[in-house]
Structures are given as structure tokens and as C-alpha cells.
Structure 1
Amino acid sequence: MLRIIVLLVGISLSRFADADTIYKIVTELSPPNQTVENHKVAGTSTELVKQITHHAGIDTEFTIYPWARAYKLAMRESNTLIYSMARTPERENYFHWIGPVALFHLGFVTNSYRDDVTITTLEHAKQYKLALQRGDVAEGVLKALGFDYVLTTDIEKSYELLIGNKVDLVLDDPRYLSSMAKELNLPQDHFKFVFDVKQLSVKGYLAANYNTSIDVINKLKLAFTEISQTDFYHQVLESAPH
């Protein structure tokens, strides 16, 4: 009887501990998926993550960092989640993968007035100066394809180099150019998409540090399954943002 009581107390304390845990959720600035509104992390993918974590019944704290820092935090600290992250063989064993919360069709972007920037093949694009975010999946892909590039801490810094004509190209999804222009206080048509990089059509996942409680992981996966059947989920992953 005493053993049973001790076991029940242990289970109860474990549940209270889970209830008191605040799970850190990290991401990067990437409009319209991850934005900042009224000093809070917002955006379409953020809303999906909030719905998933709320449905799973866990308390969360969202923070935006440069991508490389967000990635290191999520890889090193238990009870830390990250989004929207490409699922690659190199990353596979460091995380629990909850599910996709974004879809990217990435390609080269330049300023709309840059009529001198014309690209018909990937090889042709190598003549132009390119900015990428440090630690982004595109860095590895384009390096393997023989590209040279300038590394920045986040996508906003890459766009700032483009706006100032310090580089000729950045990488982004054509659906998101007007959102980025708005974020940077520019006309919606300031940027133009010039070439689709087929190798960079990727899903962006919500993932959790590998040492996070398996009970919490299971709750998150179950919540994702339910949220992924909603109209809003399909709108975020399949439709152009408004």
C-alpha cells in the first residue's frame, strides 16, 4: 500500500511539474510567417504554433532571435521548441519533429528597378552577389551548388543589403515579397522574384529539443494532427498571404 501511495504521489508531482514548466519557443523574423506586432511575436506560422501548443495544454514563451542563435538554443536546451525549420538529414537526430507549419518555394529576389539582373539558369545566377542568412538551409544547398555569398544574421539584414545595392540578390518566397516590403516600410512592389530554385522548395517544421519530455512531444504531435485538419492550417501552407 505504501509503495502504491508513493507511486501516486510521484505521478501527481510529475504532472504538477509539467504544469509549471514554461516551454521556450524560438524563431527568426520571416514575414509573414514570423513577425513582431505590438512587441509580441506574431505571423501566420506563429499563430499555427500557438494553436498547437494551446491544444497540447503547455505554457509557452515566444522569442525572436537571429536564426543561428535560435537554432543553437533549440539544439542545446531541453523544453525548447523552434520553427519554421527545414528538416534535413544533418538536423534529424537533434530534434523531435512535430509537423510542418510553413511551406517555402524559395528563389532569387532583387529590387524591382534592377533591369540589369536577369537569370535564366542557376549557373547564370552565380555572376551576381548574393546575401544569405547564417545557418539557413539555403546556405548548405547553394554552397554545394558552387555559389559564393555574403552571410547575415537574419533575413531583414539580407534585405537591407539588397535595398542598398550592396548585393544583387536575396532568397525568398515570391508570395512573401509584399509582406517583407511592408515590414521594411517600402512600396509593396519594391521587390521582384527573378528565378525559382527548385532545390529550395521546403517545408518549415515545428521541432523540439531532443531531451524534451516524450509525454509533451506526444501531446504536441496529437495537437498538430488535429490542427493540421483545419482550414486555417491549409490556408497558411497552401495559399498566398493576404
Structure 2
Amino acid sequence: MTWFRALRFCLPFFHIAAVWANAPEPVLLVTESEPPLQYEQDGEIQGVAASVVKAIFRRAKLTPEIQMLPWARAYRQASQQANVGIFSIARIPQRESSFHWIGPIVPYRWSVFRLKSRSDIHLQNLADLHQFQVGVVLGDVAHHYLLSKGFRAFPEGNLNTSATAEIVLNKLRAGRVELMLMSELSCQTPEWHCQHFSQALELPEMGNGLYLAFRKDSDPKLMQTLDAAFATMVKDGTLNQLQQALPSSP
């Protein structure tokens, strides 16, 4: 084989190597298990919120690497490391200045739930929760919300914290806590087996939707690209179409 023929033979491989070398690295995203928003099944991250996030990245021609973690760990990583995204996260005043917000990716409403068998529990307002043991996920929006309203964690107060929502649910079923804050959406999901729970109090002031968020000092070009991708999904109806997979509100 002559030198020219050898070079011509190798050129396509040089091109492929160059494309690989210039390909953007996957963007790390962290989240927690919360059906139907996001959950792991057959080794894949699925759910309505996960589908929206994946669609944003497809529009942006970027690849997400999604890791499922306990919420406190996911939040800590996203809040300490630039260019690491987190979803599905509530946009509350305590977090507003720390993150770049993309969304809302899904609507979300919070309520207080009790066991149906605890018909003795009657709640008229948030202050009534002080009388009961309340289960919350450590570091999540419900935890922050109650702390901002003067509630405190056990043993000083009546908040019983756990690493995941599944643990809190198990505590509620077992009677180890009497109340739990969760979304109306999640309680309609078969995976959470909420048929034994009853809504005790609505919390409309917490319902502002859920977002994809990155630390404020993340790459501006990356943020602009994701913002633009999300905006096109809103405009052409893709976001609304994906959200149709959510269970209907009660």
C-alpha cells in the first residue's frame, strides 16, 4: 500500500477520533426516587419529570448522566458543585439565589396525609400539626417549609426526619409517625400504595411546580442552551404533551 493510499484509508478514522475527542461530556444530574416523577425500573431512570428532563437535553443536543440518590445527598452535591443539575426541586425563597432555575418541568401540589384509620386527627390549619409526630424527608422542601414555620426536629420538636420518602411512608403505615407531607400527585401513584392514606390538610402555598436547577455559578453557555431548549418545548407543546402522562388531580 502506498503512502497516499494508506493516508486516504486512515483519514476516516482520524475524523471519528476527532469527533469523539470534541464530543461534550455527559452532564451529571442527580435526583431522588419519587414515582411518578422519577424512578428506576429495569436499570433506567423513568417517570414524567425524567422524560421532560431527557427531552430538554435532546433538544440541547447534550447527554445527561442521571444518578438516583437520597435527597439530602443529591441536594448537597448539586449545591456544592457547579454544572451538576438536580430535579425535581421546588423553587422556594431559601433556595432562590443559590440556583439557576429551568422550568417548571411539572406541576406540583402539597398536602398533609394521615392513615385513614386515624379519623381522630382533624387539621384546620398548619399550627395543628404541632400536636402530632410529622414525618419528613431530611432536607427536602417540606422539611425546609416546616422549619421556616417554627417547627423543629425531634427531640426538640415533632419532626421525624428520614433519608427517603419510602422510609417516611413505611413509618406512617407502621404508626411511628402520624402525619406526612407529600404531593397529591405521588399519593395517586400505585407504587406508593396510598390506599390506606387520607388527605388531612391542603397546603396551597407550597404548590409552585418543580424544576431542574443548577448552582448559580454553573457554565453560562450551558444554562443558555438548556433555557433555550426548554423554551422551545413550551412553545411547540412538547412540555404539555409529556405532562399528560401525569395522573389526574383528585
TM-score for the superposition, normalised by structure 2: 0.81
- Does residue 64 of the first structure (1) align with residue 64 of the second (2)? no
Q: 1:200 aligns with which of 203, 206, 228?
A: 206
SS of corresponding position for 2:108: strand
Task: Mark the CA change 1:221 to 1:68 in structure 2 (over 3 Å): closer, same or farther.
Answer: same
1:183 corresponds in structure 2 to 191
Q: 2:215 aligns with which of 209, 213, 219?
A: 209
> Does structure 1 retain, via aligned residues, the 8 Å contact 2:26–2:62?
yes
> Does structure 1 retain, via aligned residues, the 8 Å contact 2:137–2:161?
yes
Separation of aligned partners in 1, 2:135 and 2:223: 35
Structure 1 stretches lacking a partner, 5+ long: 1-14
Task: Mark the CA change 1:73 to 1:229 in structure 2 (over 3 Å): closer, same or farther.
Answer: same
Separation of aligned partners in 1, 2:22 and 2:175: 50
Query: Per-residue displacement from partner, 1:59-103 (whole Å, max 9, x unpaired)?
Result: 111111111110111122233111111223332333221221122
Separation of aligned partners in 2, 1:240 and 1:224: 19
2:59 corresponds in structure 1 to 55
The residue type equivalent to 1:228 in the other structure is: V
| 125-134 or 223-232, which deviates more | 223-232
Query: Where in structure 2 are the equivalents of 1:135-150 lying within 5 Å?
Result: 135-147=139-151, 148-150=158-160
Report percent identity of matched pairs. 28
Structure 2 stretches lacking a partner, 5+ long: 1-18, 152-157
How many residues of Structure 1 are paired with residues of Structure 2 in the alignment? 224
Separation of aligned partners in 2, 1:154 and 1:38: 20
CA RMSD of aligned residues (A): 2.3
> Does structure 2 retain, via aligned residues, the 8 Å contact 1:109–1:172?
yes
Query: Where in structure 2 are the equivalents of 1:98-177 lying within 5 Å?
Result: 98-147=102-151, 148-177=158-187
Structure exhibiting the larger radius of gyration computed from Cα positions: 2
> Does structure 1 retain, via aligned residues, the 8 Å contact 2:135–2:177?
yes
TM-score for the superposition, normalised by structure 1: 0.83
